[in-house]
Structure 1
Amino acid sequence: MFNKSINLDEDILLKNKIPLLINDPTWTKLFGEANDKSIQNTKEELIQLVNNESNLDMKSRELQKEKLNCMKMILGVSDSVNNENKLENIELLDEYKKRIHEINEEIDEVTFQLETIPKSIKESNFNLLKATVKYGYDELKYREKVVNQVVGEIESLKEKLMELINTKHDYEEWINETYPFLHGLLGSNEMEKLDREILK
């Protein structure tokens, strides 16, 4: 088809409020299964990024929940050490404090990834848009050519059909006039005899 590079302004995503293409039903219908490596590879990359974002978001919520539980446990254990003199729980207190420190580090890492991944998703969506536009124009040119060929064939078949209809009409008209004429000339007995001899 045509191999011109697609030069799109990245701001078009914002200006035209272009959605995440993999979530758009029309895009999915027209291009989701397109036989195009660039579209399929970029689509898979975008799906992976969106899934990663979803997983990171879930992990962040789980970590926050675990941190809250650890803090509650620290309060309970601290109370048992300070007010009930359960010194054996000091080790448990240290474990919860250590776990909170680990959770904080994990939260920082997840938060950093959650802050950077939207940019990657935007870039991937833009690349998918470019691949879609290129493939779309290639297909438009090809399909318009096919449509024009088909329209030409339909017109040709229409003409042929009209010729056949006219031929059928002319022959039927001749038959319908000739048979009664001969019948009138020869009579029914002679016509029946000829029909048996000639038309069998």
Structure 2
Amino acid sequence: MFEFLKRKANSLQGIIKKSNTKNKLDKKVLRKNDISLLILDERWNSLFKNTERTSEIIVSEDKLKELLKLQSRLLTESKEISLHKKDLMSRIIQLTKEVFDKNNEDAKKEMSSCEKEIKQINERLGAIEEEIENIPDRIKEANLELLEVTINIVYYKIRFNQKRIKELEALIEDAKSRLKGYIEEKETLAENDTDIYSYFHDLLGGEELEKLDKEFFG
């Protein structure tokens, strides 16, 4: 049984690998729909309970995961450096009296350093903001790519399964036919035995029949 299932699984993989036809989805239409993130969708994940993830699925899945990780990292970095910028600006305010009232050179150097760092933070925040704005579209595109790959893989499996279902239906019909024959044979034999037993019971009597039963059937 396990060998049979293994052969069928290999056959399915062969169908998938040999096919060069790719079903292209109308992404313009899909972009208007609210397609959930597949890797977070329990129903999508359940598609692979009995179907192995192909290399194409794994690559597309990893691409989507990396984009989500990047989005998370950028948001975290933006929050952290914004807090640091706030601290730098507070420090500049603290240094103002030393710089302008007391002409403190050390305070001037520290203020200049703070201002330089704030400038760098502003540049980085601008770059992060630009990336963060683009990421949702990139995530949506990667999600649609994963959906496209999934459909190609899963529909090949459906086609394979439908072929096997037809084979099984034929086997079931054959088994039903043979089972019907077995039942009819059993009923005929049982009926014959009953008729024979009844005849000899009437002919010989119960006592003699009991002796025959012991002799032939123990």
TM-score category of the 2 structures, normalised to the smaller one? 0.7 to 0.9
> What is the alpha-carbon distance in structure 2 between the residues aligned to residue 3 and residue 141 of structure 1?
15
The alpha-carbon distance between structure 1 residues 16 and 115, as it changes in their structure 2 partners (threshold 3 A), is closer
The alpha-carbon distance between structure 1 residues 79 and 181, as it changes in their structure 2 partners (threshold 3 A), is farther
* AA partner of residue 26 (structure 2): D
> What is the alpha-carbon distance in structure 1 between the residues aligned to residue 97 and residue 194 of structure 2?
114
The percentage of counterpart residues that share the same residue type is 30
> What is the alpha-carbon distance in structure 1 between the residues aligned to residue 44 and residue 193 of structure 2?
60
Residue 11 of structure 1 aligns to a residue in which SS? Answer: helix
Using the TM superposition, name which of 57-66 and 22-31 deviates more.
22-31
> What is the alpha-carbon distance in structure 1 between the residues aligned to residue 20 and residue 170 of structure 2?
28
> What is the alpha-carbon distance in structure 1 between the residues aligned to residue 33 and residue 120 of structure 2?
43
Using the TM superposition, name which of 36-45 and 181-190 deviates more.
181-190
| Deviation, structure 1 residue 79 | 4.0
Q: Which residue of 1 aligns with 2:7?
A: none
Gaps of 5+ in 2: 1-14
Normalising by structure 1, report the TM-score: 0.85
Q: Which residue of 1 aligns with 2:12?
A: none
Using the TM superposition, name which of 120-129 and 137-146 deviates more.
120-129
The reply on whether 1:7 has 2:24 as its aligned counterpart is: yes
Q: Which residue of 2 aligns with 1:73?
A: 91
> What is the alpha-carbon distance in structure 2 between the residues aligned to residue 69 and residue 160 of structure 1?
86
Query: What count of residue pairs does the alignment treat as equivalent?
Result: 199
The reply on whether 1:50 has 2:68 as its aligned counterpart is: yes
* AA partner of residue 15 (structure 1): K
Matches within 5 A, 1:113-132: 113-132=131-150
The reply on whether 1:146 has 2:164 as its aligned counterpart is: yes
Q: Is the 8 A contact 1:12 1:18 kept in 2?
A: no
> What is the alpha-carbon distance in structure 2 between the residues aligned to residue 94 and residue 152 of structure 1?
85
> What is the alpha-carbon distance in structure 2 between the residues aligned to residue 31 and residue 64 of structure 1?
42
Q: Is the 8 A contact 1:34 1:40 kept in 2?
A: no
Using the TM superposition, name which of 41-50 and 120-129 deviates more.
120-129
> What is the alpha-carbon distance in structure 2 between the residues aligned to residue 41 and residue 112 of structure 1?
26
| Deviation, structure 1 residue 64 | 1.4
* AA partner of residue 67 (structure 2): L
Matches within 5 A, 1:1-200: 1=15, 2-31=19-48, 34-79=52-97, 81-82=99-100, 85=102, 87=104, 88-200=106-218
> What is the alpha-carbon distance in structure 2 between the residues aligned to residue 146 and residue 79 of structure 1?
85
* AA partner of residue 113 (structure 2): E
* AA partner of residue 38 (structure 1): E
| Cα deviations by residue, 1:154-198 (Å, 9 ceiling, x for unpaired) | 222222222222222222222233223212211233222222222
Normalising by structure 2, report the TM-score: 0.79
Q: Is the 8 A contact 1:183 1:191 kept in 2?
A: yes
> What is the alpha-carbon distance in structure 1 between the residues aligned to residue 23 and residue 159 of structure 2?
15
Q: Is the 8 A contact 1:31 1:132 kept in 2?
A: no
Residue 47 of structure 2 aligns to a residue in which SS? Answer: helix
> What is the alpha-carbon distance in structure 2 between the residues aligned to residue 155 and residue 61 of structure 1?
67
> What is the alpha-carbon distance in structure 2 between the residues aligned to residue 96 and residue 61 of structure 1?
18
Gaps of 5+ in 1: none
